[in-house]
Structure 1
Amino acid sequence: MAFLKNRISTIIVGLLIILAILGIVGSFTANPAGFIQGIAVIALIGLVIFFLFRKVTNSSPQKKEQRAFLKAAKRSKKRLQQKSGDSTAKSSALGTLTKLKKSSKLKKKSPAHLTVIDGKKSKKKNRASF
């Protein structure tokens, strides 16, 4: 039965394609100027819809990428300025201690947030077994 359903749908699709081709040929032979004008109108409407859809869908990601690029550029610029400022403070003999302390604080990473899990406090641990 499944083979017959597949075959019937193939026959119906084939007949529709043949009828469409006959309709196109018939309208072209009856009125060639009208046929070409109709094709041109359909193509023009399709292009307008395509460009509108493209403008709506592609404008947001490009703007987001541009904003992300500008943000990253500002960050790298700040990083380069800090590195160049730190190297001159370290290399100069007149650099103050506070500048060196600030530069070392900037390089430290934030501590990992660890939580303590409380177990059985009444039980004493045997440190020798560890």
Structure 2
Amino acid sequence: MRNKGVTIFVYALIFLALFGLGYKLSADPSGLVKNLLYALLFGALISAAFYFLFYKKRQTAPSSDMKKYKQAVKQSQQKYKKQTPSVTNSAKAKKVSQIKKTHKKRPSHLRVIEGQKTEKKNRALF
């Protein structure tokens, strides 16, 4: 029952707003345009004030979860940081060349299926 009363109130409010808008449009169109522009300007000022005072501060302040994430990333980078090898470049080049020489080529995983090769398709016809 309460929802029915609320919906009737909302519909009545919308009806009165449309009635007032129509009356103002017929009586003083330039005044209506001026009032609408003032309302838009006032709304823009209020929303800008809320944005700069409340939303921007909350957006720039890092949350505790983000602080923990950044700390974990820093620890991970320190843990897995590449260490400089003590082997010289010439010794490394010899190892690489030896590995390349001993590496065998793996057989292909594809195989040929024997079929009737004498019959050729006539591809000129559509």
Interval of TM-score (by shorter of Structure 1 and Structure 2): 0.3 to 0.5
Which structure has more relative contact order (CA 8 Å, sep 6+)? It is 1
Normalized against structure 1, the TM-score is what?
Answer: 0.44
TM-score calculated relative to the size of structure 2: 0.45
Structure that is richer in helix per residue: 1
